[in-house]
Amino acid sequence: MQSLMDQFFNLEIMAKALPLMLSGLWMTAKLCAAVIVLGLGGGLVVALANVSPRRWLRFPSIVFTDIFRALPPLVLLIFIYSGLPFAGIEISPFAAVALAFLLNNSAYYAEVYRAGILSVGKGQWEAARSTGLSQTQTLTSVVLPQAVRNVLPDLLSNTVEVVKLTSLASVVSLSELLYTANMARSITYNASPLVLAALIYLVILWPVVRLVSRFQRRLAA
Amino acid sequence: MQNFLHTFFDPNVMARYLPDVLSGMMVAIWIGAAVVVAGVTAGLALACLRTYRIAICDVFIICFADIFRALPPLVLILLLYFGLPGVGVRLSGPVVLFVVLSLTLAAFAEEIFWAGFSSIEKGQWEAGISTGLGFGGTLVYVALPQAVRLAIPPLVNRVLAITKMTALGSVIGVLEILSAATTAQSFSGSATPLSLAAIAYLVLFLPLVFAARMFERRREQSLGR
């Protein structure tokens, strides 16, 4: 029991690792900001192409979402980080993560948006158009606000997944939360920094997970 | 263009490392299948247990589901793989991968099945019990089939997302597709093995993606959209 506490809940080691891990947490925050904004934007573009009546827009967007839903994000990340230099393109770890997750998250966010846009009835389009709004105005001021509201829980739960995914950046040596925790573990030969990292993720994400559950229950009721 | 093809699709390198990637695929399939069976079974069992509304069990199940939905699997993988040997428990890479992914899937599956159970009206339970089925009988013959049907589309999506994570095994030395490819990449000095890995994943997972889409479209139609 004592050895278990020493190995996993060693407060002394946690305190020592904390400053390093806080800098990792800051990097995780920056990474989250980047990939959430990129994913929300990219996903919207892909979703709009997906519901478009034009075939040459619809088809590529379907291929895009299928491919990036089938590829594990880590494979994509390694492919970009270690593969692109072979093509003469040097890329920083941060840029590699941003690019890989832009592709991966856009596909997932696009599916969520798509469901939202389809949940707004056709009559709304027709009504808005007949009052003289243009196609674009109808989309931005009538359809999208309702679409986003309808799928808010799914957008939120996908964002939880996106935040969790940023931990993969540790594999390409980007010094985010998990990377710094694992570094502290290898220096101290003690797993407590990893436990601390898990606790930090929990403190940030548990309330959001709860919120998503409550949202979904209210929608079901 | 020629250069590009040579870098990413060199036929000689492909032929040389195809066997490694294929054996990596077998490892991914085995671990993935085991995770799906264990995770879905455990999730369903927990959701069924929750219908009995035993306060202490409910608290435990809700905490379990919340924690494993909130934690990044890679954190748990590193924690078990590097932490447990310190207290004398040494688990191999594949076992750690299986345990972590199964627990993660169980947490999500529990929530999905529970959402299915919650959507069943109270009257159905009362009707089932009043016809003499008993609580257990109503659960198995009335509630379960409906809950499972509701759960399938989101469950397929989640199974897809979690079986894909077998790629995380490469971080702890599981010889699956990605680790076979990165090893081959550093030996061959070519990016071709990475393309090979991407193709291997597409072969494995595109059918699942199509299945997931089919279920979703069917549900959208049945909702009259």
Question: What six digits make up the tokens of B31?
Answer: 């671990």
> Is B225 a domain residue?
no
Phi-psi region of B71 (alpha: psi -120 to 50; beta: other; left: phi over 0): beta
Query: Distance from A11 to chain B by nearest Cα, in Å?
Result: 15
Q: Which pLDDT belongs to residue B140?
A: 87
Domain spans, chain A: 2-220
> Is B9 a domain residue?
no
Q: Which pLDDT belongs to residue A4?
A: 83
Low-confidence winner among A33-42, B69-78, B182-191 (lowest mean pLDDT): B182-191
Distance CA A42, CA A47 (A): 9
> Is B175 a domain residue?
yes
Q: How many domains does chain B have?
A: 1
Question: What six digits make up the tokens of A212?
Answer: 């998503």
Interface check for A45 against chain B (CB to CB < 8 A): the answer is no
Query: Distance from A182 to chain B by nearest Cα, in Å?
Result: 8
| B209: CATH | 1.10.3720.10
Identify all chain A residues contacting B67, using CB atoms and an 8 Å cutoff: 202, 206
**Interface probe with A: pick from B50, B58, B74, most Cβ of A within 10 Å:** B74
Q: Which pLDDT belongs to residue B225?
A: 45
Instruction: Quote ipTM for the complex.
Output: 0.91
Residue ranges in B139-223 assigned as alpha helix (H): 144-163, 177-188, 192-222
Note whether B118 contacts A220, CB cutoff 8 Å: yes
Residues 83-112 of A with CB under 8 A from B: 83, 86-87
Interface check for B198 against chain A (CB to CB < 8 A): the answer is yes
Note whether A208 contacts B70, CB cutoff 8 Å: yes
Note whether A78 contacts B194, CB cutoff 8 Å: yes
Mean pLDDT of B193-220: 89
Note whether A66 contacts B82, CB cutoff 8 Å: no
The half-sphere exposure of A61 on its side-chain side, counting CA atoms within 13 A, is: 24
pLDDT in tens, chain A (221 residues): 788 888 899 999 999 999 999 999 999 999 999 999 999 999 999 999 998 888 999 999 999 999 999 999 999 999 999 999 988 888 999 999 999 999 999 999 999 999 999 999 888 888 999 999 988 899 889 999 999 999 999 999 999 999 999 999 999 999 999 999 999 999 999 999 999 999 999 999 999 999 988 887 776 55
CB B25 within 8 A of CB B204: yes
> Is B7 a domain residue?
no
Distances (CA, A) of A189 to A6, B86, B87: 11, 8, 12
Q: B39-76 b/e with 16+ CB inside 10 Å = b?
A: bbebbbebbbebbeeeeeeeeebbebbbbbbbbbbbbb
Note whether B74 contacts A178, CB cutoff 8 Å: yes
User: For the domain A2-220, what is the CATH code?
Assistant: 1.10.3720.10
What domain range includes position B81?
Answer: 16-219
A–B: how many Cβ contacts below 8 A?
A: 149
